[in-house]
Structure 1
Amino acid sequence: MYTTVELKKEGRLARLTLNRPASMNAMDDVMMKELADVFEELKGDMTVQVLLIQGAGRAFSAGGDIKAMVDPNSPLDIGKVMVDVCRLAKALYTLPQVTIAVVHGAAAGLGFSLVLGCDHIIAEEESKLAMNFIGIGLIPDGAGHFFLKERVGVPQAKSLIWSGKVMNGQEALEKGLIDEVVGEGKSTERAELFAHKLLASPIAAMIASKNILHAQKTKELESVLELETEAQVAMRKTADHLEGIQAFVGKRKPEFTGK
C-alpha cells in the first residue's frame, strides 16, 4: 500500500518505519504524503494505543530530500508539498495514541520536526539531531517552531533554529529536547520495553490526558503551520536558499547575502 513507509500493527502496538534507507530516509514528496496518510489512518484506529516511529538503515531521517529540490526533471511543487507537511504535523499531534520516536543516526530538518512531535523521544548517544533548515536558507516546517517551543520555550527555540546546531543524544537530553538517551544500537530494545510498560499501564487514562493537553494547543498549531507555509514558500524564492542548496550539492561552504 505504501512505498516509502511501512506500518505494522500488532494488537495495541503499531510500528511505523521510514523506509528509504538508501537515501537515509530523506523525505521526498511521496514520503511526506504517505506519512500524512498513515497518521490520518491511525487517527481513526482506536484499537492501537502505542505507536513506535523509527527509520530503516543508518538513520532516522536526514530531513527533506535536497536532491529532489534541485532535480530539473521533477521540480518540487512547494505549495503542494507544504499541504502534506502540514497534514502530517497536525495528524501526528492529534493522534489518539502515545507516540514514541526511536532515533539512531541522523534526525535532521523535517526528520527532527517529526521526532519532536512525538510524546516520548529515545535517542542513541551518537545520534545527530539538528533543526538545520538555516543551512539552506529555509525555516523549520512540519511544525518545527511549535514543537521546539513546546519542548524548550521561545528563547532556546530561536537559538536552535538560528544556529542549526547539530547535537548528539546527550546534548539533546541536557537541553530538554528528548526524554532518554541510550547506548549505540540500544534504541529499539529500549523503545520496545517502554512500549510494553505503557501497554501494561492504565493507558486509556494517559491518552485522555494527552488529548486534553493537546486540545488546548491545536488552534495555535494550525496557526503556526499556516505561517510556516507562507514563509517557506517565500524562502524557497530567495537567493540565499538557491545558494544554500547549490553549496550543499557541491559540497562547499555557502556564501549568503541576506537576500
Structure 2
Amino acid sequence: MTFETLKLEKNGRLATLTLNRPAAMNSMNEVMMRELADCFEALNDDGNIQVLIIKGEGKVFSAGGDIKAMLNEDNPMDIDEVMVDITRFVKAIYMLPMITIAAVHGASAGLGFSLTLASDIIIAEETSKLAMNFIGIGLIPDGAGHFFMKERLGTPLAKQMIWSGDVLTGTGAKKLGLVDEVVPEGKASEQANFIAQKLLQSPVAAMIASKEILHTQKCTELTNVLKMEAVAQSKMRKTVDHLEGIQAFVQKRTPAFNGQ
C-alpha cells in the first residue's frame, strides 16, 4: 500500500507509520485524513504486526489540521466529508490489534494531538509543544479529542485544558499525565524503537488481548463522542468567531472573539 502523505514501513512484527508532509509541518489535509483512515483500517486486518510506531517527518510530529486548506476558496475543505474520514481513522486506531507508540518531537497540536492521544504509549521530547488548541480558531476538539482528554485527565481538568488551549512542553504534559515518558530533544524516535523492541520480547499477545478487552468497553462512548464532535464542528465552522480565528492566525494577530 502506497500513500501520498504517509510512509508505512514493516519490519517483521514492527511497523512504523510516518506522517509525511514536512513542508506543511505534517498538517492534515483531506488527503492525509483519508489516507490515515485507509492505513489504520488495513492494519486492523494485518495479523502479523504487533507494535506500531507513529511519528512525523521533518521538524514536528503534526501541526494539526491544515488551516491553509480551510481558507482555500477555490477548493474549500468539505467539513462533513472530512469528519467522516476523521471518524474512520480514530475508530480504526483505537481498536488496532497491536500496541501503538506515538513518538512526539517538535509540536503535536490540534488534530495531531488527538492522534497522539489515541496511541497506547506516548513518548514526547522534553522541549516538544503539545496543545489541544482548537479554541484558538473558534473550534472544538475533533478526532475524539474530548474522549481522549477525558480518559487521560478526567472531565474537570479535560474541560479546563480544552477551554484554555494551553501549550504544554513535553515535561509539563508528563506532569499532567498526558504523555507517558519524556526524553531529551532528538531522542523520541530512538526511545520509541527501544520500547518497541522491549514489547516484542514480552508476551505482547497477552497485552494486545487486554487492550481489546478494555477498549471494547469504551467503543460506544467513543462512537457517540465522534458523532457529537462531527455535528458541533460543522456548526462551529460557520461561526463568526471561527472566521475571525483563522483570519487572525494567518495575519499573526490576536483574535477578537464575540461569542457568535
**TM-score computed with the length of structure 2 as normaliser:** 0.99
Match of 2:180?
179
* In 1: Cα distance, 2:254 partner to 2:99 partner: 41
Structure 1's consecutive aligned runs of 4 or more residues displaced over 2 angstroms after TM superposition are none
Q: 2:49 is matched with which residue?
A: 48
Q: 1:186-208 deviations in whole A, cap 9, x for unaligned?
A: 11111111000000000000000
Give the whole-Å Cα distance in 2 for the aligned partners of 1:188 and 1:81: 29
Gaps in structure 2 of 5+ consecutive residues: none
Find out whether 1:95 has 2:96 as its counterpart: yes
Aligned residue identity for 1:203: V
For the residue of structure 2 that corresponds to 1:59, the secondary structure is coil
Residues 19-42 of structure 1: CA distance to partner in whole angstroms, max 9, x if unpaired?
000011000000000001000000
Amino acid at match of 1:43: N
Once the two structures are superposed, the pairs formed by residues 179-258 of structure 1 within 5 Å of their partners are 179-258=180-259
Q: Paired residue for 1:61?
A: 62
- Could you list the per-position Cα deviations for residues 119-150 of structure 1 after superposition, in whole angstroms to 9, with x for gaps in the alignment? 00000011000000000000000000001111
Looking at structure 2, the residues matched to 233 and 189 of structure 1 have their Cα atoms a distance apart, in angstroms, of 39
Distance 2:120 2:147 in 1: 14
Structure 1: segments with no counterpart, 5+ residues: none
- The one-letter amino acid of 1:108's match is A
TM-score where L is the length of structure 1? 0.99
User: What amino acid does structure 2 have at the position aligned with 1:54?
Assistant: K
Counterpart code for 1:22: A
1:159 aligns to 2:152 (yes or no): no
Aligned to 1:30: 31
2: CA distance between counterparts of 1:168 and 1:46? 36
Aligned-partner Cα distance in 2 for 1:133–1:142: 11
What's the offset of the Cα at 1:73? 1.3
Deviation at 1:245, TM superposition (A): 0.4
Matching residue's letter, 1:31: M
Q: Letter of the aligned partner of 1:195 in structure 2?
A: A
Distance 2:81 2:189 in 1: 34
2:23 counterpart letter in structure 1: A
Other-structure match for 1:19: 20
Distance in 2 of aligned mates of 1:91 and 1:139: 21
The alignment's C-alpha RMSD in Å is 0.4
Secondary structure of residue in 2 paired with 1:75 = coil
How many Å apart are 1:179 and its aligned residue? 0.2
Deviations 1:73-111 (A, max 9, x none): 110100000000111111010100100000000100000
Aligned-partner Cα distance in 2 for 1:11–1:68: 37
Q: What is the identity, as a one-letter code, of the residue corresponding to 1:86? A: T
- SS of 2:232's equivalent in the other structure is helix
5 Å-filtered alignment, 1:63-78, equals: 63-78=64-79
1: CA distance between counterparts of 2:247 and 2:91?
31
Q: Deviations over 1:195-252 (max 9, x none)?
A: 0000000000000000000000001000000000000000000000000001101111
How many positions carry a matched residue from both structures? 259
Alignment of 1:64-143 (within 5 A): 64-143=65-144
Question: SS of the residue aligned with 1:26?
Answer: coil
Q: Distance in 1 between the 2:10 and 2:171 partners?
A: 31
Identity %: 65
